[in-house]
């Protein structure tokens, strides 16, 4: 017996999102960050969708499960940190640049 499941965000090949889809994803990420930081991982996904200004189906299209949404948040943060590190590495004093950029990210 074979079991089929919906692919997770990490199993789905990456392809560029349409502008509106990217805007929705960004809004979902921002709303999820706020909800999870204020209410923990048990925060209402319906509340996340509402705060993002999207339908719950749109949230599930981007992140089919709560775990996928958490993974999306980690991926987004990793991408931000990588960009910060790359900017800092291009500076004359990479360590100072990284600590300055890191502090700016946290503020």
Distance of CA 28 to the CA centre of its chain: 8
Going from N- to C-terminal start, the domains of the chain cover 19-106
Please tell me the predicted confidence (pLDDT) of residue 6: 47
- pLDDT averaged over the chain? 84
pLDDT (average), residues 1-24: 65
Q: In angstroms, what CA-CA distances link 51 with 39, 57, 68, 73? A: 14, 14, 18, 16
Q: 49 burial class (0-12, 13-18, 19+ CB within 10 angstroms)?
A: buried
Model confidence pLDDT, tens digit, residues 51-89: 999 999 999 999 999 999 999 999 999 998 898 888 888
Please tell me the predicted confidence (pLDDT) of residue 105: 61
Please tell me the predicted confidence (pLDDT) of residue 66: 95
Whole-model pTM: value is 0.69
Please tell me the predicted confidence (pLDDT) of residue 41: 92
Q: And the tokens for 4?
A: 């089929």
Please tell me the predicted confidence (pLDDT) of residue 4: 45
Residues 19-106, CATH architecture = Orthogonal Bundle (1.10)
pLDDT (average), residues 12-19: 72
Please tell me the predicted confidence (pLDDT) of residue 11: 53
């Amino acid at each position: 017996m074979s079991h089929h499941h919906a692919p997770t965000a990490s199993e789905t090949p990456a392809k560029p999102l349409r502008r509106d889809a990217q805007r929705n994803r960004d809004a979902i990420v921002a709303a999820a960050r706020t909800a999870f930081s204020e209410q923990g991982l048990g925060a209402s996904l319906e509340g996340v969708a509402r705060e993002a200004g999207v339908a719950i189906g749109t949230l599930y299209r981007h992140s089919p499960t709560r775990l996928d949404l958490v993974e999306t948040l980690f991926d987004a943060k990793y991408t931000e940190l990588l960009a910060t590190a790359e900017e800092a590495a291009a500076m004359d004093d990479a360590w100072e640049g990284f600590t300055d950029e890191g502090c700016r990210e946290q503020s």
